[in-house]
Amino acid sequence: MKKLLPFYLLCAALAAAAYVLLSAHTEWTLFPYTKVLELLFGLHFTYSGTAYEAIGSAVVITRSCSGLNLFLSTYAILVIGFLHRAKNRRLLPLLYFISAVAIAFIVTLARIIVSLPFAESPHFKLIHTVISLCVFFGTGLLVYSLTQKITDKMIGGHTREKAV
């Protein structure tokens, strides 16, 4: 455990710095999502100071749509679940960080897109929350499972016994 402590502290510092920085700058945290939605759906957004609002539509992208919580949970899954198994750990915190950012962006964008048809619904908040929970839980399971398989192949098998 002592050998891993510096790696865990580095990972925690990276995650905390990213969270604080991106939380403080909602405008540019959400900007990439609005650009993709503009390209895919022709929506045009304006920034209101706290959120991006689509002109002539009920679509609003707020800080809660940024994927920061998904990034943190994905990063935690990767670090806590797999850092201890690696032989060469030097670049893993950065690799896990980049992977978590990419996964969070793609999954969050998909979650926003899936929610778009419900934007006008009076039950949008509930529908969006249910979609979010399903997507986030599924993403956590998928990230863990895929990383488990990749790690097992890289280290030549695994030491845990299969359930009967």
The amino acid that residue 124 corresponds to is: F
Q: How confident is the model at residue 1 (pLDDT cuts 50, 70, 90)?
A: low
Across 52-72, average pLDDT: 89
In the chain, the percentage of residues whose pLDDT exceeds 90 is 47
Contact yes or no for 111/135 (Cβ under 8 A): yes
pTM of the complete model: 0.83
| pLDDT over 90 at 47, yes or no | yes
Contact yes or no for 46/53 (Cβ under 8 A): yes
Neighbours of 54 (CB within 10 A): 20
Closest CA to 28 of 54, 63, 58: 63
What's the pLDDT at 163? 47
pLDDT in tens, 85-111: 777 777 788 888 999 999 999 999 999
Contact yes or no for 104/71 (Cβ under 8 A): yes
Diameter of the chain measured on Cα atoms: 57
